Structure 1
């Protein structure tokens, strides 16, 4: 019984490695690293020029909670108030409730594909609307992260290839932006 279980695990790992390699070879201009990232993964994703891309593998564990893919606006606490307000206006759409709502300038193409053979997930979306999720302090209070959800749904346990492409240049975003992959563990 134990031998069968170990053999199944080895076969699954070999299949996963083969599938990841095959997906990496699929597109000549799109290379995915072999590293599989776990929840609480963050990486820079600038938006100023347009055409910026991210291509990563992530692991979703068996859970009753959703996993989220987020675009994070990073506000530095030592900035002048005008710059803080400009970032918040991009994130929220307004500062004072009476002023006109600023349209969301970000347009991101999101592709999610299952890598392992036990799931058949393919998601292709163009994210063009705000989806405010959370803010939190980072770097010992020197930064505040404002997160917009790009995707926040339950996925079957497995490994997924996540590809993001910034569809338009947003030169007014002259601050750091991050892509984040996290399991939702907030208390509601």
Structure 2
């Protein structure tokens, strides 16, 4: 059975540039062949600021939006977060979405396609990794970093450089290794 990869568009604001970048990456992931690659847009889940009365570790969700999000996260074996940097940090929509569920994230690898100005979103990635490890996820080192993103996105089309292409392929291969290894940890104990 093929492993499922979710490429998550993490910005939900109007005018976001992450959509064409995420489409590009998802196409690369589909061509890679190691994953059943799916594009996930946080904006489509319309998650309000965390509003579940019970702790997510209990998985006793009262709201339909949480149940939909839980089911989506649960089906994935690995994640790639496509995200900008907001004030040196991750987008608030991503942090909110991460906090909505807990067990559904456990023992799954994650990687990043980040974008921004001169830093390419690296500072936001570093902060996001701290949250991921608390969710028992394994953020990997390999990444795609898009500096000066405005130079690469025109008319809602992303124009990658060779380093973006090479980084994406390298990251996918490593993510697949981690996804295979961590899947064993999610098996029920005998």
TM-score w.r.t. structure 1 length? 0.31
TM-score w.r.t. structure 2 length? 0.31
More helix as a share of residues: 2
Which is higher, the Rg of structure 1 or of structure 2?
1
Using CA pairs below 8 Å that are at least 6 residues apart, which structure has the higher relative contact order?
A: 1
More strand as a share of residues: 1
